[in-house]
Structure 1
Amino acid sequence: MKNNVTLIATAAMGLESIVANEVRQLGYEDVTVENGKVIFEADHQAIARCNLWLRTADRVKLLVGEFEARTYDELFEGTKALPWEQFIPEDGKFPVTGKSHKSKLYSVPDCQAIVKKAIVEKLKRKHGVASWLQESGSEYKIEVALLKDKVTLTLDTSGAGLHKRGYRVGQGDAPLKETLAAALVQLTNWRVDEPFYDLFCGSGTIPIEAALIGQNIAPGFNRAFAAEEWDFINSTVWDKALEEAEDLANYDQPLAIYGSDLNPKMVEVARANAMEAGLADLVDWKQMQATDFHSKEERGYIVSNPPYGERLGDKEQVEAMYKDLGATLRDYPTWSIYILTANEKFEELFGQQASKKRKLFNAFIRTDYYQYFGKKIK
């Protein structure tokens, strides 16, 4: 079997270019960026390396094939023609999920059932099985996605989404996804020798992701992936990728990372999450009001996801807090400040127009990432 495959790193809306950049940094050059995904050709080693290293991708899928289908017969025959036996062994378990958008075949349950039936037929013939496939072995999760009558069939190599790093032992009401938190850090030009603050740390996701980036620790180092169990990938692939991650980690890199929150319970949750991530000594946590921020450092970075004030009762309180925060941080003109919020009046309330802003989605909430670049020190 050929060792090269087509991989798809899926991404939240607005993060595609960041994911593409991460893929290129891993050494995979032939990259195509589309809405919600980054497509590239690579070898089996890339399946392990991308799952371990991609900080901002949702998951890594292996493309089995694509074709047009406007009838269930075309869907069945197109699916059956693909080389499933190269990936799924005789005892492989292969559940099928699906989605359909702007396609003649709009019934997702029917599409899933037809894809399943076609793969069963193909595998029975190739493996010489007369009756049924037992599906007692490792899982090979298949997705059938239809868009404008184009069928894309993939295998999910990740298992749980890549945002599940394995360190979150507790969280607040609206936790920031680890993948988005990593993107917020990567969209700054923070350097590891400069102080980094999150004044609304919640469960600690932004400072923890900053610490992982600061010491070049692979975000997937502490968890398992679906493809680790797959027969067609040599186990040495994973051993080699983990060894590389261990070699590239810079555990001796000193960092000045701070997380604070008004809620003492959330500070304890953040501390527990950092401990679970193996970063207990790398982040300083403090119970504090954001407007009590003070630093003697000439330069630094503040990256925060404050409350948005979306609930009616909270709106006035949150908007007053934005005003007070703006007044506090005006004393730090050489600091760079990055704020993610859904409040469209943020600049007006903060009292300063952003140097740059970028549209991002926090779950399904449309937000802006307001970026205030610090003035250069003469």
Structure 2
Amino acid sequence: MDQFKLVATAASGLEAIVGKEVRRLGYEPSVENGKVFFRGDKSAIARSNLWLRVADRVKIVVGEFQAKTFDELFEKTKALPWETYLPLDAEFPVSGKSVKSTLFSVPDCQAIVKKAIVNRLSEKYRRQGRLMESGALFKIEVALLKDQVTLTIDTSGVGLHKRGYRVMQGGAPIKETMAAALVLLTSWHPDRPFYDPVCGSGTIPIEAALIGRNIAPGLNRQFASESFDWMPQEIWQAARTEAKELANYEQPLDISGSDIDHRLIEMAKQNAEQAGFPDVISFKQMQLADFRTDKEYGVIAANPPYGERLEDEEAVIKLYKEMGEVFQALPTWSIYVLTSYEAFEEVYGKKATKKRKLYNGYLRTDYYQYWGPRKPRQDK
């Protein structure tokens, strides 16, 4: 197959960012709730897995149809060209979900889809009885929404947030994909200072460094589709070569992070070293109240503890008040804070220029944005 319909899944609120990433790769996106659809060849599968910073997974859409009965689900699934994707020895577990559909029993839907695919492959490969399923892994999902069925094959394997650099983490780490989104939603450019005052194990500063040097986030990991027999290794080699050539490893960066917990700072340093930034990001144990700088036109992006994690509203209020007081002394800086605490602006002491609704896992949060002035252009 030369062209595929692909879907990049994403957390609610982040679809537009993924859509922009897809467009930058040269593909035309169609953005829906939690999903970005696009068409591409085998190279698109490799390149999107390597480059998409904010997407959760990249999947092949095998088929879409309406089904209100189990017979319909079976026959329409069986009619799809599964042999195009699955070799005779393919291992293909089926997962599922159903929302507001007549066929609400997910286990039954999974079993029927599995049976339909087995029947199709048995006929096409002229095999009787059970398939061995001893080869490469093809994870299939049947998703039903208001009786509309979508059948997909996962090309990513482990979720795309698993970059491979996070060797250590704190108690409530932010996903790498969300951290990348927080950076991309700021006005930051690599020639400006970037600071995370509550950096934890360092995820946001590390993602900023990857973005600042244009390093593909998936460059140092493997993907499920690398084992698909119809995906030539030359495709992956070309995609990785392209990524290495596009990286700007010499780009100077001024990125720093601090945290009150010395153990987290040690974790952040180890994670940064694993990511290839041992001397690029500056991490320091420090109370937020002690932050001072003479630098201008910087960007602060923070994912501070919110009540759900501290179970101590007084500590949360104290931290947010401190933020407002400390950041008031940075008139040229742009400040971005992610929190689920609804009274944040009141406690912080200033109304945000803009706030954006995001879901951090299943938790609804707001990204409060305080835009600083534009950095003046320097005369050549």
TM-score under structure 2 length normalisation = 0.97
2:56 equivalent among 55, 58, 64: 58
Equivalent position of 1:164 in the other structure: 162
Residue 377 of structure 1: how far off its partner (Å):
6.4
Equivalent position of 2:270 in the other structure: 272
Q: For structure 1, which segment, 205-214 or 321-330, has the greater mean C-alpha deviation from structure 2 after superposition?
A: 321-330
Asked if the contact 1:298–1:334 (Cα under 8 Å) also holds between the matched residues in 2, the reply is yes
1:142 equivalent among 140, 143, 146: 140
Residue 313 of structure 1: how far off its partner (Å):
4.9
Q: Structure 1 residues 377, 125: closer, same or farther in 2, change over 3 A?
A: closer
Name the SS of the counterpart of 2:111 in structure 1: helix
Asked if the contact 2:92–2:138 (Cα under 8 Å) also holds between the matched residues in 1, the reply is yes
Asked if the contact 1:180–1:362 (Cα under 8 Å) also holds between the matched residues in 2, the reply is yes
Equivalent position of 1:24 in the other structure: 23
Matched ranges for 1:171-186 at <5 A:
171-186=169-184
- Equivalent AA in structure 2 for residue 119 of structure 1: I
- Partners of 2:202 and 2:295 in 1: how far apart? 22
In the alignment, structure 2 segments of 5+ residues that lack a partner are: none
Equivalent position of 1:68 in the other structure: 66
Asked if the contact 2:10–2:56 (Cα under 8 Å) also holds between the matched residues in 1, the reply is yes
Residue 309 of structure 1: how far off its partner (Å):
2.5
| Structure 1 residue 78 corresponds to structure 2 residue 50 | no
Equivalent position of 1:355 in the other structure: 353
- Partners of 1:331 and 1:312 in 2: how far apart? 27
1:323 equivalent among 317, 321, 331: 321
Map Cα deviations across residues 53-99 of structure 1 (whole Å, 9 max, x no partner). 00000000000001111111111100000000000001111110001
- Partners of 1:188 and 1:377 in 2: how far apart? 14
- Partners of 1:376 and 1:23 in 2: how far apart? 27
Equivalent position of 1:205 in the other structure: 203
- Partners of 1:357 and 1:311 in 2: how far apart? 21
Asked if the contact 1:309–1:319 (Cα under 8 Å) also holds between the matched residues in 2, the reply is no
Map Cα deviations across residues 250-308 of structure 1 (whole Å, 9 max, x no partner). 10001000010000000001111111111111100000011111111122111110111
- Partners of 1:260 and 1:366 in 2: how far apart? 25
Map Cα deviations across residues 303-354 of structure 1 (whole Å, 9 max, x no partner). 1101112367511121012112211111111111101011111111111111
- Partners of 1:361 and 1:190 in 2: how far apart? 22
Equivalent position of 1:215 in the other structure: 213
- Partners of 2:258 and 2:317 in 1: how far apart? 19
- Equivalent AA in structure 2 for residue 49 of structure 1: R
2:94 equivalent among 88, 96, 102: 96
Aligned residue-pair number: 376
Equivalent position of 2:226 in the other structure: 228
Q: Structure 1 residues 374, 89: closer, same or farther in 2, change over 3 A?
A: same
- Partners of 2:289 and 2:51 in 1: how far apart? 36
Matched ranges for 1:105-124 at <5 A:
105-124=103-122
Asked if the contact 1:347–1:353 (Cα under 8 Å) also holds between the matched residues in 2, the reply is yes
Asked if the contact 1:302–1:336 (Cα under 8 Å) also holds between the matched residues in 2, the reply is yes
Residue 189 of structure 1: how far off its partner (Å):
1.4
Equivalent position of 2:5 in the other structure: 6
Asked if the contact 2:168–2:201 (Cα under 8 Å) also holds between the matched residues in 1, the reply is yes
Name the SS of the counterpart of 1:310 in structure 2: helix
Asked if the contact 1:7–1:61 (Cα under 8 Å) also holds between the matched residues in 2, the reply is yes
- Equivalent AA in structure 2 for residue 17 of structure 1: A
Residue 375 of structure 1: how far off its partner (Å):
2.9
Identity score, percent: 62
Equivalent position of 2:33 in the other structure: 35
Name the SS of the counterpart of 2:195 in structure 1: strand
- Equivalent AA in structure 2 for residue 286 of structure 1: K
| Structure 1 residue 196 corresponds to structure 2 residue 158 | no
Equivalent position of 1:154 in the other structure: 152
Asked if the contact 2:187–2:299 (Cα under 8 Å) also holds between the matched residues in 1, the reply is no
Q: Structure 1 residues 377, 190: closer, same or farther in 2, change over 3 A?
A: closer
Residue 211 of structure 1: how far off its partner (Å):
0.3
- Partners of 1:71 and 1:286 in 2: how far apart? 60
Name the SS of the counterpart of 1:269 in structure 2: helix
Asked if the contact 2:297–2:374 (Cα under 8 Å) also holds between the matched residues in 1, the reply is no
Q: Structure 1 residues 377, 114: closer, same or farther in 2, change over 3 A?
A: closer
Q: How much is the aligned-residue C-alpha RMSD, in angstroms?
A: 1.1
- Partners of 1:240 and 1:177 in 2: how far apart? 28
Name the SS of the counterpart of 2:312 in structure 1: helix
- Partners of 2:98 and 2:296 in 1: how far apart? 53
Name the SS of the counterpart of 2:330 in structure 1: coil
Asked if the contact 1:309–1:316 (Cα under 8 Å) also holds between the matched residues in 2, the reply is no
- Partners of 2:327 and 2:334 in 1: how far apart? 10
Q: Structure 1 residues 151, 202: closer, same or farther in 2, change over 3 A?
A: same
Q: For structure 1, which segment, 87-96 or 315-324, has the greater mean C-alpha deviation from structure 2 after superposition?
A: 315-324
Asked if the contact 2:288–2:322 (Cα under 8 Å) also holds between the matched residues in 1, the reply is no
| Structure 1 residue 253 corresponds to structure 2 residue 244 | no
- Partners of 2:289 and 2:328 in 1: how far apart? 11
- Partners of 1:327 and 1:308 in 2: how far apart? 18
